[in-house]
Structure 1
Amino acid sequence: MSVEQPLWRALTAYRVLTMLYAVALFVAAHDDFARPWVAVGYFSVLAVWTLATLPKVAGAASCTKRFLAVDLAVALTGILLTRAADAAERISDGGPTLPSIWTAGAVLAFAIKGGWRWAAFASLLVGVANVVQRGAFSRDTVHNVLLVCIASIAIGYVVEVARASERTLARALEIEAATRERERLARDIHDSVLQVLAMVQRRGTALGGEAAELGKLAGEQEVALRSLVAGGLAPASRVSEDTARGALVRVVEEPDDLADEAAAPRDLRTLLTPYAGAQVTLSEPGAPVPLAPRAARELAAAVGAALDNVRRHAGPGARAWILVEDEPDAVVVTVRDDGPGIPEGRLAQAEGEGRLGVALSIRGRLRDIGGTAELISVPGQGTEVELRVPRDARGRTAQR
């Protein structure tokens, strides 16, 4: 049930009771009226209008702007008709207007429907009408107008706060429901799909041949699915075997808005998670690692190039480790493998032969975004590539 619904029900009862109260005041003092027939005509219209429009004040959907305008016009008309119906002595002595406190119901409808700003607008019109009806400012008039104005604005503000709280609560309930559904799906996936993929990997490795390749793919998909279930970080991806190069190729489908340099910072973890697999271990912080979109993409591409070198030069059985460090002034990603290492002078020789994998795919990418790439390799002890991107990489990228 809506938080404001009880207010609408209270307003419905208030309009009926105050209409009866205004009629009772007239009946008790009808002999003192200069033109009682004017008051009788107005109260007839007021009674019909109040009873006929009860469904209109049953909720925010039915209480339209047109209804609020006509309802306030009925109240203002009653205030101004008081000079024509009542005696001048009663008006000067502070006698009530024809609608009396029924007018506050019209103002409260504005407050509940539109908040405190609508309430202030309606209260201002009521105050002007009361001053015109009295012909001058008086203490009673100012007191009554201020009372209605403050009460309606306060109620309008409370309604706005209640609506904001209701939206926050609804969002929290949606998140809780989504979390519970995610946990249920994670349990189902763990009990079925992940176990099947693990079994295919074990059986394929044991059988060898083409079954071993199938088991390898199943192991890759198991790791990716576990990452998705655990943190929801891996975007949509697909895996295929590049038979020409003998390497595992993973294509990650990224949103189009990543190409926009003005986009919000990108969590680097979402781009590195697809690289994790049976032979690649990814260690990352538990919190997001934000970087400018282009810097995050180029850094992830450099990591991919480093892993390609591991597969190409360290052999199919080599393992690799990716370590992500989120420092205050920079983001550091280290890629290490347990391969045979790179002989001294081999990188310079490869660059001279036109093989620019490390020079362009790794160092070139980092240089374009204002970062650095350091390669350390000891023959027989593997290779380590340290990629460092400063926090201001976004500004340098835009300048370039």
Structure 2
Amino acid sequence: MSVEQPLWQALKAYRVLTVLYAVALFASAHEHFVRPRVAVGYLAVLAVWTLATVRKVSDARSCTRGFLAVDLGIAVTGILLTPLADSAARIHAGGPTLPSIWTAGAVLAYAVKGGWRWAAFASTLVAAANLVERGAPTRDTVHNVILVWVAAIAIGYVVEVARASERTLARALEIEAATRERERLARDIHDGVLQVLAMIRRRAADGATGGGADTAELVRLAGEQESALRALISRGLPGPRDAGPHDGPRGGGREPGREHPDGPVDLRALLARHATGPRIALAEPGTPVELPGPVAGELAAAVGAALDNVRAHAGEDARAWILLEDEPGQVIVTVRDDGPGIPEGRLQAAENEGRLGVAQSIRGRLRDLGGTAELFSVPGQGAEVELRVPKAVPEA
């Protein structure tokens, strides 16, 4: 709902109540009017107009310029007709005009529709009409004119500020949505293409791919593409969310072509896919640990990314342990290894180089799920990644 919508609703109620007030004022003092038929005729037109145009003050789109012009014209006409209907004594004594405080509603409509400049224009016309009706600028007349003028301009200014704030908020939400989409695509690229390219380069360096000019050229191209992709995703990768999830080597990311269902999924089954070798152990509860399918899939993908980091940095012979804990309000998954640990400052340096395994594939996933990812490491004593996800995951 627009931030100005409550103002339109309040204005709608104000117009209906004030036309009833104007009719009541006339009914209580009709015997003092010199031409009561003029007053009755005008108030009948005012009441019909107010009730017939209730929908016109429902929102900014319905409240057109033509409506505003006619509305203000009716208010000014009522002020100028007052000397013809009422007695001069009552007018000089400060008696109300025929539309009374209904006139302020016409001015406020200008303020809500067009801001403080429109409000200044409308209130100036009403002020001039009041001065003509009174014949002389009395203290009460000047006081009322200034009050309406200042209030209308203030409300118009507030409306302009509210609209600017609403546009800024909408832009911020668009930027946040685009940033989340870039991070998601960066995670998919990291868990799929980048991991494959990095694996090709590592195996070539270990002499596992064989010789030959074609192999050397393939390795060179793989290295170039890996560097280019890392630079691209570190700057931000725009584009629609049209790419499906990709699988990383040896369990990183999601399985190719498979989307996790929206219903409950036992997280133990997803984590078991990562503990297929003798060097990765899984400790889990004896009862199912159920999470919504997409949440469980993202959490399992973060665990896969953590294990990929173990293989890449601790070596193929490193051992890893996955601990799954099911607590009343959250699920905790811990991945620990017996590698050499992470040197201080290495994570920030890796992120600057475009290596976003921890920043995006792990922390980014957990942040999107409303959880946290903490990494603990002591040089020479391995590393530990603790992933926490609340069971009541907020919607994105």
Bin of the TM-score, shorter chain as denominator length: 0.5 to 0.7
TM-score (norm 1): 0.57
- In the aligned structure 2, how far is the partner of 1:67 from the partner of 1:122? 13
Q: Which residue of 1 aligns with 2:126?
A: 126
TM-score (norm 2): 0.57
- Which letter maps to 2:159? V
| Deviation digits for residues 308-358 of structure 1 (CA, Å, limit 9, x no counterpart) | xxxxxxxxxxxxxxxxxxxxxxxxxxxxxxxxxxxxxxxxxxxxxxxxxxx
For residues 266-324 of structure 1, the C-alpha deviation after alignment (integer angstroms, 9 at most, x for no partner) is: xxxxxxxxxxxxxxxxxxxxxxxxxxxxxxxxxxxxxxxxxxxxxxxxxxxxxxxxxxx
1:198 aligns with 2:202: no
2:63 is aligned to 63
CA deviation after TM superposition for structure 1 residue 105, in Å = 0.2
The Cα of 1:204 is off from its aligned counterpart by: 6.2
Other structure's SS at 1:192 match: helix
The aligned counterpart of 2:189 is: 189
Q: Distance in 2 between matches of 1:204 and 1:63?
A: 71
Q: Tell me if structure 2 keeps the 8 A contact 1:8–1:59.
A: yes
Which position in structure 2 is the counterpart of 1:30? Answer: 30
Could you tell me which amino acid in structure 1 is paired with residue 188 of structure 2? D
Q: Could you say which residue in structure 2 is the equivalent of 1:167?
A: 167
Q: Does 1:135 align with 2:135?
A: yes
Q: Count residues in correspondence.
A: 234
Corresponding residue number in structure 2 for 1:228: 232
In 2, Cα distance between equivalents of 1:138 and 1:117 = 26
Deviations 1:354-374 (A, max 9, x none): xxxxxxxxxxxxxxxxxxxxx
Give the match for residue 220 of structure 2: 216
> How is 1:1-400 mapped onto 2 (pairs within 5 angstroms)?
1-202=1-202, 206-207=209-210, 208-232=212-236
Rounded Cα–Cα distance in structure 2 between residues aligned with 1:138 and 1:162: 36
Query: Residues 182 and 237 of structure 2 are in contact (CA less than 8 Å); yes or no, is this contact kept in structure 1?
Result: no
Aligned 8 A contact 2:8 2:59 in 1: yes
Deviations 1:364-389 (A, max 9, x none): xxxxxxxxxxxxxxxxxxxxxxxxxx
2:13 counterpart letter in structure 1:
A
When Rg is computed on C-alpha atoms for both structures, the one with the higher figure is 1
- In the TM superposition, residue 196 of structure 1 has moved relative to its aligned partner by 2.1
CA shift, 1:165, in A, is 1.1
Q: CA deviation at 1:65?
A: 0.9
Amino acid at match of 2:110: F
User: Could you say which residue in structure 2 is the equivalent of 1:365?
Assistant: none
Decide whether aligned partners of structure 1 residues 70 and 118 sit closer, same or farther in structure 2, where only a CA change above 3 A counts.
Answer: same
Measure how far apart 1:233 and its partner are.
9.0
Instruction: Give the letter for the 1:33 counterpart.
Output: F
User: Cα deviations across residues 234-282 of structure 1 (Å, max 9, x unaligned)?
Assistant: 9xxxxxxxxxxxxxxxxxxxxxxxxxxxxxxxxxxxxxxxxxxxxxxxx
Structure-2 residue corresponding to 1:261: none
Shift of 1:33: 0.5
For structure 2, list consecutive stretches of 5 or more residues without a partner in the other structure. 239-396
Identical residues among aligned pairs (%)? 75
Q: Which residue of 2 aligns with 1:321?
A: none
Question: Structure 2 CA distance, aligned partners of 1:44 and 1:63?
Answer: 22
Report the AA paired with residue 224 of structure 2.
E
Q: Quick one: higher RCO (CA 8 Å, sep 6+), 1 or 2?
A: 2
Instruction: State the SS of the aligned residue for 2:95.
Output: coil
2:16–2:51 Cα contact (<8 Å) kept: yes
Letter in 1 for 2:57: V
